[in-house]
């Protein structure tokens, strides 16, 4: 594969040659944000939604962005053109920037990188994920920060449990996974997803839209452990895998998934929606 190009602070350069100063607040204090979007060929999927969230995160974190929306779109377009990857992901990162005292924000650094990414599956995983819950609530959950301290620290424990991912819970209510959102399907086929203390994912947003278009009732509200126990299905929404069914949450087991499952129907609807998005992209 040819060397990849990235963008840092107004300059295009080879990714292997990219550098940031060691006194950057992102390195010193872990202070920064990012957003990640999947690219299908030359189409950056749901680009406007990702940029909306990026600028919202920057505003909440008090990080000024020198580039406007159209400038960032042009950078993304140029990277897609230069790197020529059939399937990829683009990460837009904004760090706290160099700080004279290691504490004060002055001028953030912006870096945009593109990397190969396997194409998501066109068929839903049948076996599903085993999920374990852990008592934790992310600080500033509405912001897509670079702080994944708890998620990374928990990885050995998650593997020891024979699980695929960890679902955060707090005071009897679940919120989110470190990198994705959680849904349940009630016995009346109502789609429910946590409303508060979560990062509202872009795939989550698209999924709510297509679910309603497909005739499902959707509720955004608190989801308790008891709600999960009473549900007939559960699944994860993910930019890279679309929808992943959940076969187990802690000791609670769900029935095997099949083509008539609500989760399978939503996967197909989301896949069609994504295909239409690619076809309509200009």
Q: Where are the domains of the chain?
A: 5-116, 129-280
Distances from the Cα of 125 to the Cα of 61, 240, 257, angstroms: 37, 13, 9
Statement: residue 60 has pLDDT above 70: yes
Question: Which range, 124-128, 154-158, 274-278, is most confident?
Answer: 154-158
225-236 pLDDT, tens per residue?
999 999 999 999
Q: What is the pLDDT of residue 259?
A: 85
Statement: residue 160 has pLDDT above 70: yes
Lookup: tokens for 8:
């840092």
Inter-residue contact 34 to 146 (CB < 8 Å): yes
Q: What is the mean pLDDT of residues 95-106?
A: 94
232-249 pLDDT, tens per residue?
999 999 998 899 999 999
Q: How many degrees, rounded to 5, is the angle at CA 150 between CA 147 and CA 151?
A: 85
Q: What is the pLDDT of residue 282?
A: 62
Residue 208 pLDDT level (bands cut at 50, 70, 90): very high
Q: Do domains 5-116 and 129-280 have the same CATH topology?
A: no
Percent of the chain clearing pLDDT 90 (strictly above): 92
Half-sphere exposure of 1 (CA within 13 A, CB side): 10
How many Å is the Cα radius of gyration of the chain? 20
Statement: residue 1 has pLDDT above 80: no
The strand pair at 43-44 and 32-40 is best described as antiparallel
Q: What is the mean pLDDT of residues 3-24?
A: 95
78-88 pLDDT, tens per residue?
999 999 999 99
Q: pTM of the prediction? A: 0.95
Helical pair 47-60 and 202-213, crossing angle rounded to 10 deg: 130
Please give the class, per CATH, of domain 5-116. Answer: alpha beta
Residue 73 pLDDT level (bands cut at 50, 70, 90): very high
Q: What is the pLDDT of residue 233?
A: 97
Fold of 129-280: D-amino Acid Aminotransferase; Chain A, domain 2 (3.20.10)
Percent of the chain clearing pLDDT 70 (strictly above): 100
């Amino acid at each position: 594969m040819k060397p990849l190009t990235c963008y840092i602070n107004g300059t295009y350069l080879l990714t292997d040659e990219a550098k940031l100063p060691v006194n950057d607040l992102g390195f010193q204090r872990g202070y920064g944000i990012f957003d990640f979007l999947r690219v299908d060929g030359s189409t950056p999927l749901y680009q406007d939604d990702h940029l909306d969230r990026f600028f919202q995160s920057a505003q909440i974190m008090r990080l000024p962005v020198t580039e406007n929306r159209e400038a960032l779109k042009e950078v993304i377009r140029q990277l897609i053109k230069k790197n020529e990857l059939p399937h990829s992901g683009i990460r837009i990162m904004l760090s706290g920037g160099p700080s004279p005292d290691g504490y004060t924000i002055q001028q953030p650094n912006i870096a945009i990188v593109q990397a190969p990414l396997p194409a998501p599956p066109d068929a839903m995983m049948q076996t599903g994920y085993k999920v374990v819950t852990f008592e934790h609530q992310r600080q500033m959950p509405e912001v897509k920060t670079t702080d994944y301290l708890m998620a990374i620290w928990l990885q050995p424990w998650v593997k020891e449990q024979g699980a695929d991912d960890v679902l955060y819970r707090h005071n009897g209510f679940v919120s989110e996974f470190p990198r994705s959102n959680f849904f349940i399907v009630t016995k009346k086929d109502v789609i429910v997803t946590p409303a508060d203390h979560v990062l509202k994912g872009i795939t989550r947003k698209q999924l709510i839209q297509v679910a309603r278009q497909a005739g499902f009732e959707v509720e955004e509200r608190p989801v308790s452990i008891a709600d999960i126990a009473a549900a007939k299905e559960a699944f994860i929404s993910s930019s890279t895998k679309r929808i992943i069914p959940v076969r187990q949450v802690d000791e609670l087991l769900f029935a095997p998934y099949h083509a008539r499952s609500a989760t399978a129907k939503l996967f197909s609807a989301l896949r069609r929606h994504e295909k239409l998005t690619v076809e309509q992209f200009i």
